Chain A
């Protein structure tokens, strides 16, 4: 049972467009949602994160929109660049757990 779901599985956008990556979760106890970015041959690295008390978090071209009622969040990458081509993982944790639960990832390809 996948507690964190991501869509689409893969996404291709043109350079300069906004890429939108979606994530949903099931556990109401989750209160922290990081997004990790992974380039081929490397380990994942934290990109941006949000706490459930907020509905938006911005960091440069990267923005998380969070809807607690619907248990959904999305990562928007504005002005996408070829260097943004990577796999993006949505994750969640909260309550008493000390584990991060990862989604299956979205592979983004930005075409020049």
Chain B
């Protein structure tokens, strides 16, 4: 079965600090995605990637950077964390488009910025 692993599962950061959220997939999917989930806002797309070396802006990219150094790994980087970035972050992999349309999600990272 498809596997997406996120680390850490929980993170407490200070305002202005740098935070890196990591995601690893063993599905050999080309596409990877970072979403944040907040009450009342559902799942909002931050950044995504079509493959190693590529990153694309999603719907709410401000304050976030992404890095895709390999097919398996996709990181989300908060250079200067703010309390408004307190949320639950989900990574997903999948090949949306054509005949492959399933996203496989990780278990999430709960981030608190104090």
Contacts and interface: CB of A to CB of B under 8 A. Distances in A.
Contacts of A93: 96-97, 101
Contact of A100 (B4, B41, B96, B107): B96
Most chain A beta carbons < 10 A, residue from B40, B92, B96, B101: B101
B43 A45 contact: no
A43 B105 contact: yes
B50 interface: yes
B70 interface: no
Interface string B61-100: 0000000000000000000000000000010100011000
Interface of A: 32, 34, 36, 41-46, 49, 89, 93, 97-100, 102-105
The 10 A-B pairs at the shortest CB distance, nearest first, are namely A43-B105, A104-B42, A102-B43, A98-B97, A98-B96, A46-B102, A44-B105, A32-B101, A102-B42, A43-B90
8 contacts: A32-B101, A44-B103, A89-B42, A93-B101, A98-B48, A98-B50, A99-B58, A102-B35
